[in-house]
Amino acid sequence: MSTSATEEIALVTGGTSGIGLAVTRKLAARGVRVFLCSRNRAAVEETVGGLRAEGLDVDGTAADVRETGAVEDLVRAAVERFGPLTVLVNNAGRNGGGVTAQITDELWQDVIETNLNSVFRVTRAALAHGGLGADAPGRIINIASTGGKQGVPLGAPYSAAKAGVIGFTKALAKELASTGTTVNAVCPGYVETPMAVRVRQAYAATWDTSEEDVLARFHTKIPLGRYSTPEEVAGLVTYLTTEDAASITAQALNVCGGLGIY
C-alpha cells in the first residue's frame, strides 16, 4: 500500500452506478486516482465526466468483465492511464434467480460468469499484469453478499456465485498474507440501488404481488427496518483500503442493518 494517498491507484469494476459509483466517489474524494469500468460505454463517459466536474481524479473505459481479453485490456488501460494498481474493488455483478426448477443453463452461467468468474479474472490480471502488490502491499476488496452466507430464496445462482466470491476471498487472502496484501469481502444485505429495483420487480412477478408489498416484506426482515445505502457500503470498502485496516484480511464483513449475523 502506498504511503501517500496521492500515489494510490484503484480499479473499480461496475463503477457507474449503485455501490460501485459510491465507492469510486469516496475513494477519489480522499485522493485515490480511480479507474472504473462498465459494459456501457455511454455510462462510463457520463460518469467520468460528472465525477471530474466534482474535481475528482477519475477515468474509465467500457469493458465486459465476463471476457478474459476484455479484462486484460481493462487492466492495461488502467495502468497506462494512472500507473500500477494499489487497490482493486471487484464490484461488477448482476441479479438473477427464480424457481430453481425453471432456471435455464444460460441464466445460471451468466450469473456465475458475471458475479464469480469475473472476480477471478480481474484479480488475476491485476496481480499478474497490473502491478497490484508488486511494490507495496495492496488491497483487494470483493463485493459479495449476505446471500452468499445464508442463501436467498429464489436466488440460487446469485447465492452460489456470492458464496464462491467469499471462498475465493479467503483462499487468496491466505495466499497473499506473507506479502502484506489484504483481501476481504464486503457483504451487503439489501441496498437501495438500481439492481435492488430489478430484484423487487422479479419477486413481485414471482409472488404475483406489488413491488410495494415486496419492499414491505423485505423491510420487515431487516432489524434496522430499512435498506442500507450505497454510501454506507462504500464507507466500509474505503476503510479497508487504508493503513488502519492493514491487519484485516480473509474477512467477509456485513453491511446489512442486522439482516445477517455471521
Residues with catalytic function? 158
CA angle 74, 76, 78 (to 5 degrees): 70
H/E run at residue 216: helix 211-221
- The residue assigned the cell 412477478 is 205
CA 55 to each of CA 5, 41, 50, 235, 256: distance values in angstroms, whole numbers, following the listed order:
16, 21, 9, 20, 31
Q: Which DSSP helix (H) or strand (E) runs through 17?
A: none
Q: How many CB atoms lie within 10 A of CB 100?
A: 12
Q: Which three cell numbers mark 66?
A: 465476463
Rounded Cα gap, residues 68 and 156, in angstroms? 25
Residues pairing with 139 in the sheet: 87, 182
Return the residue matching grid coordinates 456501457.
40
CA distance 165 to 118: 10
